[in-house]
Structure 1
Amino acid sequence: MPKTRLRGVRKPPQCARPVTDLAQPQLALRILLTIVVGSAGGAVFAWLKLPLPWMLGSLCAVTLAALMGAPMRFTQRGRSVMAVVLGVLLGSTFTPDLFARLGSLLSMLGVLAIYVFASMALGMGYFLWIAKQDRVTAYFCSAPGGFAEMILVGEAMGAEPRQLSLAHAVRVLMTVLAVPLWFRYGADIPSSDMVRPMVLAIPWQDGGILVACGVAGWFVASRIKLGAAPMLGPMAFSAAAHISGLTEFAPPFWLVAAAQVALGAAAGARFAGLALAVVGRALAIALGWSVLLLGLLAALAKAAEHLAGFDYAVVMLAMAPAGMAEMGLVALALGIDTAFVSTVQVIRLTSVVVLTPSLFRLLGWKREAPS
């Protein structure tokens, strides 16, 4: 079957691929360059006192460098190690109070279902009629799931990989950038660089507990083949340790900042290989979809606030179509119910990646060859 090609794209944006031979000088230099660029961007954002400076600064700097042709590269293993740190951090926000709000959680899942189905319906229309994509590619471009998961599932089902990668990469990028900036400058919600005091060191006993949560959580989650194992396993173990009172500490600030730089750099490096000057239309289509998706979320969050009494900020963060780690960090920086937000994000990502291919099989669609 002939494959469609997206003009101007030299190589699709993709999750950083696993690297087994870090001794290769060229590859090692590219990774080092990416870390340096990301750290510099984070430092500039911190100096400007912007929200989530280390993650957003790294993301912006590496993305810009990649689009300008710099050889940005990050490894999946490196991202996974830093995801463990963020999982332990997010788990430290869980308290027994979360169980007392199961009713609110169930109600939120109803709002989430409305958002997912509405976004996919809107996306199908947009990608079919505006972007002129085939219906299989349009379907999987519309799904508000995790970046890597939707790429893998969509390609396996026959979606055009380059358009699929670009649509989801820009969606995640725009959400991670727009949501914290909106809360800082547009929604009149106070923000802080870290809700908790910036702890540079913690007692060795508590440090040992946190390390054990990270290592054991990642190991167990990997053995049971849980999706996003480096994040979800450590978060679950850390949540159990903090709910039980085993420890009250979170990872130190310097380690969290390093993890944020890595997370931003990994996201920005997905754009390596794209020439900005020659993919203008494709980027414009992806950007337009991101704006529509965030607009739909904002409208639904406002409706849920007025009709059901939900907190606007909680709805926005809990259902924002980006990664769980990024939105969890935004919630933490804003002091907005991080445990609740993280829980709903896990459910969103899991349900979309499970239900999207199942519904697709029921529809019986196949990708048509271009005429």
Structure 2
Amino acid sequence: MKIIMLNAKGLAIALIGAVLANYLNIPLPWLLGPLVAALFMGSVGKPLSCHPHWRKGGQIIIGMALGLYFTPALVQAISAYWGFILLGILWSLLLGTLLAVMQYRINALDWATAWFSSAIGSASEMVNIAEQYNAQVDKVVAAHSLRIIILVVLIPIFMGFYFQIDWTALVVLETERYGFIQVILLSVLALYAGKLFQYFNLLNAWILGPLTIIGFLSFVGFLPLRFPDWFIALGQLCIGWSLGSKFPFSFLKNNKKFIGLTFLFNLFALGLSIIFALVLFYLSDADAKILILGLSPGGIAEMSLMAKVMGLAVPIVVAFQLSRLIFVILTTRFFYLSSRKLILKRINRSKDIDH
């Protein structure tokens, strides 16, 4: 009963944050409002409770919403961006390596912690791998949490200023919506798809499972309608609430230097990613907004959700983020071990020089 009451309190405060953000015309109010509310409560020593099932539910809803965009025309559009997607994969490796060097040299972390806290991949996957190499897991978790929060908060602000986006004026095409019973039935289908992905230990099961099944049905023309606004808002609220409530404020008290420098490093990484995207934009005829969201070191749900709100080609952003995620998870062990050998060689070489 205590857990239920604490989660009910957390949900109520997250909802208040969303309503207030919507009233103040903040971008993505149902995502950023709960996020900021949860961060505020945590910063004053009153962290909000958020059961993991809320985040799973939010991921399922967002995966379902994104799946509706996988129409034949939009999926075909991915082919025009394959070169940029490849560049995005290489960029993630370069950026992650740069961040790791900065964490190692400036923040004085051991190489394992520096590498896995900087790899632009899934936080949960990086934590699992980091544990196997005796990295400081709490710092890996904190670094990834901080990176996602920075991106979720700052990218909408940048997009609004740079592209003169009036978030309040964005109009969603009025098409017929699914009814409550239809939403429930599709949610059950998406839930089982997520469970299937989790059973086979596939990446981001609770987003990609629902996205896959709904995307397939949308692609073959079985799902011509769209989900109601309340359903999408609920998904965003769950994601924002979960992100904010999981930020390790207790860890922050004893690691202020680490958090401060990591914050600056991630700002630097975001700035470099935006510059890289804009350079590619000026050298090509690609959509600048898609390049920024695709190349940003964020997560599939957050970046694709922004694409959805701005009316961009969601499948292309998903392709950017998913390909980068798979590449990082599959190769990060190899690149870590290879880079560690170079680090050890340099250390031994400097010792020889000292002697």
Give the one of 274, 280, 294 matched to 2:270: 294
Residues 67, 271 of structure 1: 8 Å contact kept: no
Question: How much has 1:194 moved relative to structure 2?
Answer: 6.5
Question: How much has 1:274 moved relative to structure 2?
Answer: 2.1
Moved more, 256-265 or 151-160: 151-160
Alpha carbons of 1:198 and 1:323: their partners in 2 closer, same or farther (altered >3 Å)?
farther
Q: Which residue of structure 2 aligns with residue 180 of structure 1?
A: 156
TM-score, length basis structure 1: 0.85
- 2:282 pairs with 1:306: yes
- 2:17 pairs with 1:41: yes
Question: How much has 1:199 moved relative to structure 2?
Answer: 8.0
In structure 1, C-alpha distance between the alignment counterparts of 2:54 and 2:295, rounded to whole Å: 27
Q: Which residue of structure 1 aligns with residue 49 of structure 2?
A: 73
Q: Which residue of structure 2 aligns with residue 344 of structure 1?
A: 320
Moved more, 287-296 or 248-257: 248-257
Q: Which residue of structure 2 aligns with residue 327 of structure 1?
A: 303
Question: How much has 1:189 moved relative to structure 2?
Answer: 3.5
- 2:148 pairs with 1:158: no
* Structure with the larger helix share: 2
Alpha carbons of 1:208 and 1:40: their partners in 2 closer, same or farther (altered >3 Å)?
closer
Q: Which residue of structure 2 aligns with residue 234 of structure 1?
A: 210
Alpha carbons of 1:53 and 1:95: their partners in 2 closer, same or farther (altered >3 Å)?
same
Higher RCO, 1 vs 2 (CA within 8 Å, ≥6 residues apart): 1
Matching residue's letter, 2:135 = A
- 2:89 pairs with 1:113: yes
Alpha carbons of 1:194 and 1:365: their partners in 2 closer, same or farther (altered >3 Å)?
farther
TM-score, length basis structure 2: 0.88
Alpha carbons of 1:193 and 1:28: their partners in 2 closer, same or farther (altered >3 Å)?
farther
Question: How much has 1:237 moved relative to structure 2?
Answer: 0.9
Residues 78, 319 of structure 2: 8 Å contact kept: no
Question: How much has 1:205 moved relative to structure 2?
Answer: 7.5
Question: How much has 1:186 moved relative to structure 2?
Answer: 3.0
Matches within 5 A, 1:255-266: 255-266=231-242
Q: Which residue of structure 2 aligns with residue 9 of structure 1?
A: none
Give the one of 148, 154, 161 matched to 2:124: 148
Matching residue's letter, 2:201 = K
Q: Secondary structure at the match of 1:327?
A: helix
Matching residue's letter, 2:319 = T
- 2:186 pairs with 1:210: yes
In structure 2, C-alpha distance between the alignment counterparts of 1:186 and 1:211, rounded to whole Å: 37
Residues 221, 233 of structure 1: 8 Å contact kept: yes
Alpha carbons of 1:212 and 1:195: their partners in 2 closer, same or farther (altered >3 Å)?
farther
Alpha carbons of 1:83 and 1:200: their partners in 2 closer, same or farther (altered >3 Å)?
farther
Q: Secondary structure at the match of 2:245?
A: helix
